[in-house]
Amino acid sequence: MQELCHWIDGKEVKGTSGRFTDVMNPATGEVQARLPLATPAELDAAIASAERAQQVWGATNPQRRARVMMKFGQLINDNIDKLAEIVSREHGKTLPDARGDVQRGLEVIEVCMGTPAQLKGEFTDSAGPGIDLYSMRQPLGVVAGITPFNFPAMIPLWKMGPALASGNAMILKPSERTPSTAIALAKLAQEAGLPDGVLQVVNGDKEVVDAILDHPTIQAVGFVGSTPIAQYIYGRAANNGKRAQCFGGAKNHMLIMPDADLDKAADALIGAGYGAAGERCMAISVAVPVGQKTADALIERLIPRIEKLKVGPYTAGDDVDFGPVITKASQDRINALIASGVEQGAKLVVDGRGLKIQGYENGFFCGPSLFDNVTRDMDIYKEEIFGPVLSTVRAETYEDALSLVIDNEYGNGTAIFTADGDTARDFASRVNVGMVGINFPIPVPLSYYTFGGWKKSAFGDLNQYGPDAFRFYTKTKTVTARWFSGIKEGASLNFKALD
């Protein structure tokens, strides 16, 4: 049995706590490795090392840090297939999907190659008599990232890229379910020239998370996961005087207007609803066709597409559209929610329960499921299922459909499919959701914009990657400078304008 390690001071370090958790193979249901769970004392040692390393790294000029990012990006690209294999082995997603996971993280590293431009301050010449005013952005020091199982490469890269490029040291706590990708990325960062200690990977559970949140040296925490945990981490971090950006759950709706191209809308729902077994915070889990005729035609198109989907282990290659869910507990929860939908009166058009794959009978597989006639009061509508289940909520009018999105407690992503520009503009303007797609089902912005939801999908006022990330991982210092050449002025006790 393989025993995994932490990454401390530029090398793999075995755990000393004596506490371990199992890393499963979701396709077989078997244990594939043991992961050490760090103690607060082990975390303290990693933070002390990071603090020492950050002093040198933070004093390194931004252009040299950007060169490390450039080399890091090149190494990620050169090793993308190896990284995707690690992601698929622990998560279960298909290799093409895993490569996309790595690629979307790499795009943030590419933006970090332009760090010097992101960190430029402002300057005003002669703000007053002989007075210059300027600002500078400086690193926070030691920061932390706590990342989820469903994107083992992308989200750690979203966190570490801007944090490291800005001159910080980072403590990365990856998910216990998919930990190996973080170590692989740390090794590539070291090869790219990142000094030892600037990036530490500390594995653990709630004990080490709480230690991160309480540690006085850590200045900021970034988190992605479920809403209850996001809210908990945000509150505890803020209470300890730390910056925090915490991203939680979602219930993403896609409106389908009567004038939409229904074949394109159906294809979009298949990809956005069932890709990665629905284990995406930006998955479309609710289809909202407007009008009964639109709903009937959409369901008619969805059924044959769903029935053609192939589910299996990533090792089956191109014969698989999506793989297992992450744990047996997830599988059981998804099946229970499907059962509740039936009990509460929804029409189960396609039932994905009970799927067994020859040779992988103990894997955590869920077939694709489709519901029709779902209503707001049903559990399958109210809860984030995080599985391959698409719910159809029929709306009589556009306003009815829009109200579903506006009234929902989550606000991560949403989409509308329509041929009418006025409707699309109205939707984008009025909907209270952070990321909006128009004829685009998963509106994850490109890396030079920024990613973030609204309402109970996000806690904190700055988003992930893009300009917001550099603001989050730096603090602004403003300097008012005066030189007395030729100026004669006596003492003044008055608070007055510079000019």
Task: Give the relative orientation of helices 95-112 and 62-78 as an angle to the nearest 10 degrees.
Answer: 160
SS3 395: strand
SS3 13: strand
Instruction: Indicate if 56 and 130 belong to the same structural domain.
Output: yes
**Which of the residues 112, 246, 281, 366 is marked catalytic?**
281
Rounded CA gap, 265 and 418, in Å?
9
Residue pLDDT, tens place only, 6-53 = 999 999 999 999 999 999 999 999 999 999 999 999 999 999 999 999
Instruction: Indicate if 414 and 321 belong to the same structural domain.
Output: yes
Instruction: Indicate if 334 and 366 belong to the same structural domain.
Output: yes
Instruction: Indicate if 270 and 230 belong to the same structural domain.
Output: no
Q: Is residue 351 part of a domain?
A: yes
Instruction: Indicate if 256 and 244 belong to the same structural domain.
Output: no
Q: Torsion-angle region of residue 497: left (phi > 0), alpha (psi -120 to 50) or beta?
A: beta
Q: Is residue 144 part of a domain?
A: yes
Instruction: Indicate if 400 and 382 belong to the same structural domain.
Output: yes
DSSP 278: G
pLDDT tens for the chain, residues 1 to 499? 799 999 999 999 999 999 999 999 999 999 999 999 999 999 999 999 999 999 999 999 999 999 999 999 999 999 999 999 999 999 999 999 999 999 999 999 999 999 999 999 999 998 888 899 999 999 999 999 999 999 999 999 999 999 999 999 999 999 999 999 999 999 999 999 999 999 999 999 999 999 999 999 999 999 999 999 999 999 999 999 999 999 999 999 999 999 999 999 999 999 999 999 999 999 999 999 999 999 999 999 999 999 999 999 999 988 899 999 999 999 999 999 999 999 999 999 999 999 999 999 999 999 999 999 999 999 999 999 999 999 999 999 999 999 999 999 999 999 999 999 999 999 999 999 999 999 999 999 999 999 999 999 999 999 999 999 999 999 999 999 998 765 566 666 666 665 5
Instruction: Indicate if 378 and 411 belong to the same structural domain.
Output: yes
Q: Is residue 349 part of a domain?
A: yes
Whether 187 contacts 70, CB under 8 Å = no
Chain centroid to Cα 326, Å, comes to 16
Handedness of CA 421, 424, 426, 429 (dihedral sign): negative
Q: Is 112 a catalytic residue?
A: no
Rounded CA gap, 274 and 389, in Å?
7
Q: Is residue 107 part of a domain?
A: yes
Instruction: Indicate if 365 and 237 belong to the same structural domain.
Output: no
Rounded CA gap, 141 and 54, in Å?
6
Rounded CA gap, 99 and 204, in Å?
26
DSSP H/E element including 136? strand 131-139
Q: Is residue 448 part of a domain?
A: no
Instruction: Indicate if 284 and 231 belong to the same structural domain.
Output: no
Instruction: Indicate if 371 and 424 belong to the same structural domain.
Output: yes
Question: What pLDDT score was predicted for residue 130?
Answer: 84
CATH number of the structural domain spanning residue 349: 3.40.309.10
When divided into structural domains, the chain yields a total of 2
Question: What pLDDT score was predicted for residue 359?
Answer: 95
Rounded CA gap, 285 and 341, in Å?
14
Instruction: Indicate if 305 and 412 belong to the same structural domain.
Output: yes
Whether 413 contacts 445, CB under 8 Å = no
CATH number of the structural domain spanning residue 218: 3.40.605.10
Q: Is residue 490 part of a domain?
A: no
What the block records as the tokens of 301 is: 């198109």
What the block records as the tokens of 113 is: 């190659």
Whether 37 contacts 173, CB under 8 Å = no
DSSP 255: E
The structure's pTM equals 0.95
Q: Is residue 156 part of a domain?
A: yes
Maximum Cα–Cα distance for the chain, whole Å? 90
Instruction: Indicate if 208 and 139 belong to the same structural domain.
Output: yes
Task: Single out the residue of 320, 289, 392 nearest to residue 88, CA to CA.
Answer: 320
Q: Which domain holds residue 92?
A: 2-248+457-479
Q: Is residue 259 part of a domain?
A: yes
Q: Torsion-angle region of residue 32: left (phi > 0), alpha (psi -120 to 50) or beta?
A: alpha
Q: How far is CA 327 from CA 23, 149, 387, in A?
A: 10, 11, 11
